[in-house]
Amino acid sequence: MAELLNVAKLVDRAAPPSEDRRAKWLRRCQLWSVSGILPTASSQPASEGRRRRLYRTETIWLAAVLLRVSDFIVDTNVLAGLSRDIQRAAKGRSAFARWWRDVMRGNRSAYMFFSSTDMQIRLSTTLNLLGPHLLDETAIILDLTEVFAVVRENAARD
C-alpha cells in the first residue's frame, strides 16, 4: 500500500525555509485541500469530530512548487489554475510528464518559469532559454532541480 502523509509531514518534506514559513505553509495546505487546489488521497474522521486530510506521496512535488509560488502570488484562482495545469500535464506520456518525472528523480536539471500575466508555464534546462521572456513580463522562476533535491533528501530521512 502506498504511503499516505498528513499535512505536517507533507509540508516538512516540501522543505519550508523557516519555522515561520512552515506555519504559513501548513495553513495554506489545509485551506487548499478544502478548496481543491491540493488533491487529497482521502479524508478520515479523527477524534473530536475533526477531519484529517491525507495526501499521496506524489503530491509532495506539486505542493513544493505551489508553496514556493504562493510566497509571491496569493491569488487562489491563479494557484488553482497552476495546480490544475501541472496535474493535467504531469499525467500520461506527454513531453511535460516525462520531463516532470525526470526532474523528480534527479535525472535532469530544470527551471520552471511561471508568468501570472499570461498564466503560462515555461520549462527550460537553462536560464538562458528563458531570457527573452524576462524582459516583457513579471514572472517567477523556480530552480526545480534544487527544490526537488531537497524534497528527495527529506523523503530519504523519513
Q: What is the mean pLDDT of each run of 10 residues along the chain (158 residues)?
A: 87 94 96 94 57 88 95 89 91 89 91 73 68 66 92 90
Q: Which residue do the cell numbers 528523480 mark?
A: 105
- Amino acid 94 reads S
CA distances from 20 to 26, 29, 56, 102, 107 (A): 10, 15, 25, 31, 32
Write down the pLDDT at residue 131: 65
Backbone angles phi, psi at 74, to 5 degrees: -105, -5
Contact 59, 38 (CB under 8 A): yes
Write down the pLDDT at residue 105: 94
Write down the pLDDT at residue 125: 67
Contact 22, 16 (CB under 8 A): yes
